[in-house]
């Protein structure tokens, strides 16, 4: 072989090559390290829970070990968070994230993971100590779970409590399904009723005690003893000491202050309850232990300033207390702020006297572009009841207010204790909602019946007292939209939509599989912004309840929707469950007039195929009593956009492209809704009608017929607009007023 280099030049060349190799290696390591630190989160591995398999290759180069570790995403178990935990249910979900390139095993069984490395698996437990080993490669995480078999999981009241004299105390327990649960207090024993609608191993049980009344001094009546029996096993628990406060002194009560019939409750006339918060939700006045806190679409909110006689005793259920009103409804006595945990009064109670009847007079009925307004003068701020009738629900006795068919054709507003109703309401032929008004006189009240132009064509209402003390009702008119040359084929420039990103700030919502990567509050905000962007492409005015990671209470959200009065509200949430198997999408409504929007959003979303139809799929269009959905100002659709606790759903929630696809589907459902309520042929919005300023009140049967509002005796002829008749005149076939109790 021919000699090319001399020994000296060869040495120099070797030196240059070696230096070059070192520089290249240094640069490669630098970029490898910096790239890894920006793309993968740093996860602390607790020494007590991780086991590293020993290696026999002690001679391996340390740089090769470092390189190998950098290519692997560390195994992280997010639930259970603790290494040692005690539970009372027979199944536990193990969740976390890991490297996608290496098989993952839980107790020797390979577990599926998502494309981004999240995993979730339900593990069956045996009584006593259970060891769960999660292994990937050379790393093993060990969790020790003690399954303690119990009958009663929790109970209320548990601590010492003081209650108002003459109150009703609801006692409850969360206990094993099929158990017999009893409660004993002050020499009385009740068997608690099981809530058969609850799912899972543990369900709710309820019972009620009537507490002593008219006690002139404080009474201590002992502790509540809860006993649970399941098969041959029995266990008992005790609450703290129960104290009855001494009776409050009130003025003499008028036994005739409460009218008979119409669901009224005789609470006497010594105490007055006045609503001091911006509104108060109403509940049935007559109740059982199991349904004392049921929110129902057949009840309504009452505005600030409303007054009525009330009971001296309260209804206590858990940490909540209620006041019973003479009108047959209950309202919260106080509520706990969902953010601060502080309690504030919903009503103030005081001794006083109210007028023995109410009088109403129409001050104004007018139609504007967005709303129709009814303004009434009142003698006092008495309660009223609003109902959409005739409307049936699936099973109200089990708090199942699903609507199979929308059947309501009128809106009834019943004014409690009203014996006089003066004035006229003239509804123009081109009115967007109502076709005529009717006044029905009953024994102790008047009902204003507003007949709809079309069955189910109603979009929301609100009520408040203005600065003149007048009772004002606002009814949402349908939004008029038109076709457009855009991706969705619609111009929504006339529409205002509120997007509510659930939770936020202090309230992270569901933590899910990988809370360091994404919690529910952040996922909600991401999807809300995507929905907003799509709606704004069509010119819609979009307002969001929050635009960053801030805290909002439930009442804050209610105030936003009341002040904005939008055409539609979409609330964005993500679901979670103790079982990691459940997955799917949910579209929920509370009021019957919200169902159509919820259904159209559901149909569009399911058609995307984003949510797998498996045996554990929970895709559903359903009724629910979610707090924001109870608002009546406009249709509210609350969406649950996948389960944070399911690995497949979580992977989609973490995927920007799939989230955008979800947003587009929801927006298509919104477009379908506005097309549905106002088809192309009805684009021209109604022109505002001039205020009605004339009033006519008939005082005898000899008065002549009027063209607007008449008060007639049974001998008078039927009128074409609004009629006031006695309850005897109305045939049962034409009046279908069904109370929630009758349903």
Per-residue pLDDT of 323-341, as tens digits, reads: 999 999 999 999 888 788 8
> Which secondary structure element, helix H or strand E, spans residue 561, and what is its range?
helix 554-564
Q: How far is residue 649's CA from residue 258's CA, in Å, rounded to a whole number? A: 55
The predicted model gives 157-170 an average pLDDT of 95
pLDDT exceeds 60 at position 290: yes
Q: How far is residue 161's CA from residue 355's CA, in Å, rounded to a whole number? A: 37
pLDDT for 199: 80
Per-residue pLDDT of 659-677, as tens digits, reads: 999 999 999 999 999 999 9
Which three-class secondary structure state does DSSP give residue 661? Answer: helix
The predicted model gives 56-62 an average pLDDT of 38
Per-residue pLDDT of 449-476, as tens digits, reads: 999 999 999 999 999 999 999 999 999 9
pLDDT for 336: 87
pLDDT for 251: 57
pLDDT for 686: 43
Task: Read off the pLDDT band of 197 (50, 70, 90).
Answer: confident
Q: How far is residue 508's CA from residue 518's CA, in Å, rounded to a whole number? A: 10
Q: How far is residue 652's CA from residue 643's CA, in Å, rounded to a whole number? A: 10
Asked which of 143-147, 459-463, 578-582, 739-743 is least confident by mean pLDDT, the reply is 739-743
Q: Which two tokens stand for residue 203?
A: 């369900």
Percentage of residues in the chain having pLDDT higher than 70 = 80
The predicted model gives 220-229 an average pLDDT of 98
pTM of the model: 0.81
SS3 letters across 226-285: EEEEECCEEEEEEEEEEEECCCCCCCCCCCCCCCCCCCCCCCCCCEEEEECCCEEEEEEC
Q: Which of 70-74, 342-346, 375-379 has the highest mean pLDDT?
A: 375-379
Q: Which two tokens stand for residue 303?
A: 């505005």
Pairing of strands 128-136, 104-106: antiparallel
Top pLDDT among 207 and 200 is at 207
pLDDT for 710: 35
Q: Which two tokens stand for residue 186?
A: 């002050």
The predicted model gives 499-519 an average pLDDT of 93
pLDDT for 36: 40
Strand partners, 156: 172
| Average pLDDT of every residue of the chain | 84
Task: Read off the pLDDT band of 262 (50, 70, 90).
Answer: confident
Task: Read off the pLDDT band of 694 (50, 70, 90).
Answer: very low
Asked which of 10-19, 329-338, 415-424, 520-529 is least confident by mean pLDDT, the reply is 10-19
Which three-class secondary structure state does DSSP give residue 450? Answer: strand
Q: Which two tokens stand for residue 46?
A: 């607790």
In sequence order, what DSSP letters do the residues of 589-656 get, joined into one string? ESSGGGHHHHHHHHHHHHTTT-S---TTB--EEEE---TGGG--SS-EEEEEEEETTSHHHHHHHT-H
Q: How far is residue 156's CA from residue 317's CA, in Å, rounded to a whole number? A: 8
Peptide bond into 157 cis (omega under 30): yes
pLDDT for 242: 97
Could you give the residue ranges of the DSSP H alpha helices within 119-173? none
> Which secondary structure element, helix H or strand E, spans residue 689, and what is its range?
none
Task: Read off the pLDDT band of 252 (50, 70, 90).
Answer: low
pLDDT for 51: 39
pLDDT for 74: 87
pLDDT exceeds 50 at position 45: no
pLDDT for 489: 93
Per-residue pLDDT of 709-742, as tens digits, reads: 333 333 333 333 333 333 333 333 332 333 333 3
pLDDT exceeds 70 at position 484: yes
> Which secondary structure element, helix H or strand E, spans residue 347, and what is its range?
strand 347-351
Q: How far is residue 223's CA from residue 229's CA, in Å, rounded to a whole number? A: 19
* CB contact at 8 A, 190 and 208: yes
* CB contact at 8 A, 636 and 567: no
Q: How far is residue 470's CA from residue 463's CA, in Å, rounded to a whole number? A: 10
Strand partners, 588: 622, 638
The predicted model gives 570-588 an average pLDDT of 95
* CB contact at 8 A, 470 and 376: yes
pLDDT for 47: 33
Question: How crowded is the C-beta side of 194, counted as CA atoms within 13 Å?
Answer: 17
pLDDT exceeds 80 at position 594: yes
Radius of gyration over alpha carbons of the chain, in Å?
Answer: 33
pLDDT for 306: 98
SS3 letters across 18-51: HHHHHHHHHHHHHHHHHHHHHHCCCCCCCCCCEE
Task: Read off the pLDDT band of 268 (50, 70, 90).
Answer: confident
pLDDT exceeds 50 at position 342: yes
Q: How far is residue 703's CA from residue 694's CA, in Å, rounded to a whole number? A: 17
Task: Read off the pLDDT band of 260 (50, 70, 90).
Answer: confident
């Amino acid at each position: 072989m021919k000699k090319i280099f001399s020994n000296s030049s060869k040495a120099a060349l070797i030196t240059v090559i070696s230096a070059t190799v070192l520089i290249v290696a240094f640069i490669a390591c630098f970029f490898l390290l910096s790239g890894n630190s920006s793309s993968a989160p740093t996860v602390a591995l607790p020494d007590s829970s991780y086991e590293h398999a020993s290696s026999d290759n002690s001679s391996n180069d340390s740089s090769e070990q470092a390189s190998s570790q950098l290519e692997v995403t560390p195994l992280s178990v997010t639930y259970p968070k603790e290494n040692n935990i005690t539970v009372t249910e027979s199944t536990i979900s193990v969740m976390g994230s890991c490297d996608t390139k290496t098989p993952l095993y839980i107790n020797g069984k390979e577990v599926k993971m998502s494309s981004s490395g999240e995993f979730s698996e339900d593990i069956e437990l045996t009584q006593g100590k259970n060891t769960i080993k999660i292994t990937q490669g050379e790393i093993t995480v060990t969790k020790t779970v003690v399954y303690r078999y119990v009958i009663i999981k929790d109970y209320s009241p548990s601590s010492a409590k003081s209650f108002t004299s003459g109150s009703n105390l609801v006692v409850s327990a969360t206990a094993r399904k099929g158990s017999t649960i009893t409660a004993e207090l002050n020499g009385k024993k009740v068997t608690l009723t099981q809530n058969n609608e609850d799912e899972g191993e543990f369900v709710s049980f309820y019972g009620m005690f009537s507490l002593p009344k008219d006690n002139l001094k404080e009474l201590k009546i002992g502790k509540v003893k809860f006993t649970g029996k399941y098969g041959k096993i029995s266990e008992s628990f005790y609450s703290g000491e129960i104290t009855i406060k001494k009776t409050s002194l009130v003025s003499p009560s008028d036994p005739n202050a409460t009218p008979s019939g119409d669901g009224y409750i005789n609470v006497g006339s010594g105490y007055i309850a006045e609503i001091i918060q911006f509104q108060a939700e109403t509940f049935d006045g007559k109740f059982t232990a199991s349904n004392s806190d049921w929110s129902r679409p057949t009840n309504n909110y009452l505005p600030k300033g409303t007054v009525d006689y009330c009971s001296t005793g309260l209804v206590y259920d858990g940490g909540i207390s209620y006041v019973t009103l003479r009108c047959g409804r209950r309202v919260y006595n106080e509520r706990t702020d969902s953010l601060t945990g502080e309690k504030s009064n919903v009503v103030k109670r005081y001794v006083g006297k109210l007028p023995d009847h109410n009088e109403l007079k129409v001050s104004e009925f007018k139609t504007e572009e967005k709303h129709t307004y009814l303004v009434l003068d009142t003698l006092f701020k008495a309660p009223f009841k609003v109902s959409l009738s005739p409307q049936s629900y699936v099973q109200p006795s089990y708090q199942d207010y699903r609507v199979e068919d929308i059947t309501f054709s009128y809106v009834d507003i019943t004014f409690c204790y009203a014996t006089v109703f003066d004035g006229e309401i003239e509804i123009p032929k081109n009115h967007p909602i109502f076709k005529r008004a009717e006044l029905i006189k009953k024994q102790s009240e008047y009902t204003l019946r507003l007949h709809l132009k079309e069955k189910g064509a109603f979009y929301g209402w609100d009520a408040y007292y203005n600065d003149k003390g007048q009772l004002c009702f606002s009814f949402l008119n349908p939004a008029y939209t038109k076709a457009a040359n855009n991706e969705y084929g619609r111009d929504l420039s006339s529409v205002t939509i509120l997007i509510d990103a659930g939770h936020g700030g202090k309230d992270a919502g569901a933590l899910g599989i990988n809370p360091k990567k994404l919690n529910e509050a952040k996922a909600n905000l991401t999807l809300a912004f995507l929905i907003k962007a799509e709606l704004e492409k069509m010119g819609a005015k979009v307002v969001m309840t929050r635009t960053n990671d801030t805290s909002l209470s439930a009442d804050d959200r209610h105030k936003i929707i009341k002040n904005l009065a939008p055409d539609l509200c979409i609330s964005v949430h993500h679901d979670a469950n103790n079982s990691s198997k459940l997955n799917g999408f949910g579209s929920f409504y509370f009021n019957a007039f919200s169902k159509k929007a919820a259904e159209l959003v559901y149909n569009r979303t399911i058609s995307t195929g984003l949510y797998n139809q498996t045996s554990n799929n929970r895709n559903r269009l359903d009724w629910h009593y979610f707090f924001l959905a109870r608002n009546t100002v406009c249709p509210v659709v609350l969406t649950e956009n996948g389960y944070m606790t399911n690995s497949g759903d979580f992977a989609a929630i973490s995927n920007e492209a799939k989230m955008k696809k979800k947003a587009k589907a929801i927006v298509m459902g919104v477009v379908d809704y506005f097309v549905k309520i106002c088809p192309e042929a009805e684009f021209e919005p109604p022109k505002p009608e001039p205020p009605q300023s004339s009033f006519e009140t008939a005082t005898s049967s000899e008065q002549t017929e009027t063209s607007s509002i008449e008060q007639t005796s049974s001998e008078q002829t039927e009128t074409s607009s609004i009629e006031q008749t006695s309850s005897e005149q109305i045939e049962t076939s034409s009046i279908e007023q069904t109370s929630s109790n009758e349903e």
